């Protein structure tokens, strides 16, 4: 999609809170309403107020609505503001709305709108360039998450990471299952050992000349999760291709940051594995030893993401020194979706300032995050009688919190204040369209974390 200055074949307008109505067509300019008048070459989209989420959704809806027509260009006037977040969202929405995942379909999606004509004397070149990088990174993430598990194996995800590294001049290290076993990453190794597609630990590094900060991003990359011997019911197994969302999100973030040329050093650690069944699968009652020496009693093999993340967090702290922040991203718990719904991610940690800034940045980028606070009563729920810690809680309640607290046991004391955990299980993959997001993978988190790191 190309952004140009000038005229388009059809004019689009965003109507704020009923400021323009066409009652004869049933359009009252309210939030979510769309009116296309092809004969008059006009399209109108209603929003209730001007904010990033609404602007992204409005421009996405313009593109989606025009897919049913033969117009090749659309003309629009950007909002009269200097607010960078609003302008980024305005331009991103066109690209995000044009996205369709049709890799496995015989009949491919139509993309009639090739040009967005900007009716304004202002210069938007820089903001358009950044919006394209962000939106393309989000679509890149969507594509990988949506791809089937037989295609995106741990080795394939590693190959994709290598391609990203080559294109963006990043350092890339990939470690196989034997390396994990020989070097004491017992929790990570156990999760992937029953699969015909062995695990990979992937470490990408973006290092500009004079970085002002050093950031570590860790992502859960279960390219498929059957539940292991604690097998998921068939209905719950469908969509588990999305259990790699945390790792792919991290890959999208470092891709965008390197293309934007930000002056921060970023390390992306991806823990890629399949949790499968087999004669050599890890079992309930096993006791695993993580890299930091802690032993873990396995009471449920479907609580596997935290085992992979535990060792990835250990790897990061052992191999990357003097970092300023470490953040992990995972579709970790169904409990988080039950508590917050499908459209909001949970944020946990010990640094309330970082958590609050993440939530506020999310609002500016049109993504929703909510703080889930730990308390002194939770640790005893992870107590094990045979090991240092149990991989599931003894209570069925507060599962998102106890999963986050489990991870905190693999954060060294001096790094507790630097660590933030994002449970993106809800918004990473939703089986319906919502806002500016399509059915399936959303690419949630990329936009917010890029802005968060940009602001450091």
Residue of 344, 366, 357, 356 whose CA lies nearest to 88: 366
- Whole-angstrom Cα distance, residue 336 to residue 426? 7
Q: Which DSSP string do the residues of 69-136 spell out, in sequence order?
A: S---EEEEPPPS---HHHHHHHHHHHHHHH----TT-SSPPP----EEEE--SS--HHHHHHHHHHHH
| Known active-site residue 232 | yes
For Cα atoms 166, 159, 436, give the angle at the middle one, nearest 5 degrees.
85
> Token pair of 239, please?
């969509």
Q: Which DSSP string do the residues of 344-358 spell out, in sequence order?
A: EEEEEES-HHHHHHH
- Whole-angstrom Cα distance, residue 144 to residue 77? 33
How many other C-beta atoms are found inside a 10 Å radius of the C-beta of residue 72?
A: 14
Per-residue DSSP letter, 232: P
Residues 6 or more apart whose CB falls under 8 angstroms from that of 392 comprise 299, 300, 303, 402
Q: Provide the 3-class DSSP secondary structure of residue 162.
A: helix
Q: Provide the 3-class DSSP secondary structure of residue 172.
A: strand
**456 within 8 A of 361, measured Cβ to Cβ:** no
| Known active-site residue 306 | yes
- Whole-angstrom Cα distance, residue 139 to residue 442? 8
Helix (H) or strand (E) holding 50: none
How many other C-beta atoms are found inside a 10 Å radius of the C-beta of residue 123?
A: 10
Residues 6 or more apart whose CB falls under 8 angstroms from that of 327 comprise 215, 216, 217, 218, 419, 420, 421, 422, 449
Residue of 161, 84, 168 whose CA lies nearest to 129: 84
Question: Which of 42, 67, 232, 294 is the catalytic position?
Answer: 232
Question: Which of 241, 244, 306, 364 is the catalytic position?
Answer: 306
Q: Provide the 3-class DSSP secondary structure of residue 224.
A: strand
Write out the catalytic residue numbers: 232, 306
């Amino acid at each position: 999609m190309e952004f140009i200055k000038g005229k388009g074949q059809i004019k689009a307008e965003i109507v704020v809170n009923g400021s323009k109505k066409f009652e004869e067509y049933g359009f009252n300019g309210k939030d979510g309403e769309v009116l296309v008048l092809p004969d008059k070459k006009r399209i109108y989209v209603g929003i209730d107020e001007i904010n990033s989420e609404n602007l992204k959704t409005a421009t996405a809806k313009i593109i989606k609505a025009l897919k049913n027509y033969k117009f090749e260009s659309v003309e629009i006037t950007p909002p009269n503001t200097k607010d960078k977040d609003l302008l980024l969202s305005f331009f991103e929405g066109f690209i995000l709305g044009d996205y369709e995942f049709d890799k496995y379909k015989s009949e491919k999606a139509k993309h009639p709108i090739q040009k967005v004509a900007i009716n304004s004397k202002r210069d938007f070149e820089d903001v358009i360039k950044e919006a394209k990088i962000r939106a393309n990174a989000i679509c890149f993430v969507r594509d990988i998450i949506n791809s089937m598990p037989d295609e995106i194996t741990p080795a394939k995800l590693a190959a994709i990471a290598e391609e990203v590294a080559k294109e963006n001049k990043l350092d890339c290290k990939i470690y196989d299952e034997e390396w994990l076993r020989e070097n004491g990453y017992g929790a990570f190794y156990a999760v992937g050992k029953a699969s015909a597609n062995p695990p990979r630990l992937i470490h990408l590094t973006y290092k500009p000349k004079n970085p002002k900060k050093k950031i570590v991003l860790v992502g859960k990359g279960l390219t498929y999760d059957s539940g292991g011997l604690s097998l998921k019911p068939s209905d719950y197994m469908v969509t588990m291709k999305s259990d790699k969302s945390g790792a792919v999100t991290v890959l999208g973030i470092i891709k965008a940051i390197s293309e934007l040329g930000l002056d921060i050093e970023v390390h992306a650690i991806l823990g890629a594995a399949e949790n499968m069944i087999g004669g050599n699968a890890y079992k309930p009652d096993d006791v695993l030893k993580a890299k930091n020496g802690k032993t873990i009693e396995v009471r449920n093999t479907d609580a596997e993401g935290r085992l992979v993340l535990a060792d990835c967090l250990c790897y990061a702290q052992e191999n990357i020194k003097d970092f300023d922040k470490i953040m992990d991203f995972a579709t970790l718990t169904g409990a988080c979706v039950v508590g917050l719904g499908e459209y909001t991610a949970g944020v946990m940690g010990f640094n309330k300032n970082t958590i609050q800034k993440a939530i506020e940045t999310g609002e500016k980028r049109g993504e929703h995050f909510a703080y889930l606070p730990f308390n002194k009563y939770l640790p005893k729920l992870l107590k094990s009688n045979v090991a240092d810690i149990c991989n599931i809680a003894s209570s069925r309640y507060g599962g998102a919190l106890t999963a986050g607290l489990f991870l905190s046991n693999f954060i060294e004391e001096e790094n507790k204040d630097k660590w933030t955990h994002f449970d993106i299980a809800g918004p990473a993959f939703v089986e319906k369209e919502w806002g500016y997001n399509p059915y399936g993978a959303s690419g949630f988190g990329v936009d917010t974390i890029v802005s968060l790191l940009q602001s450091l």
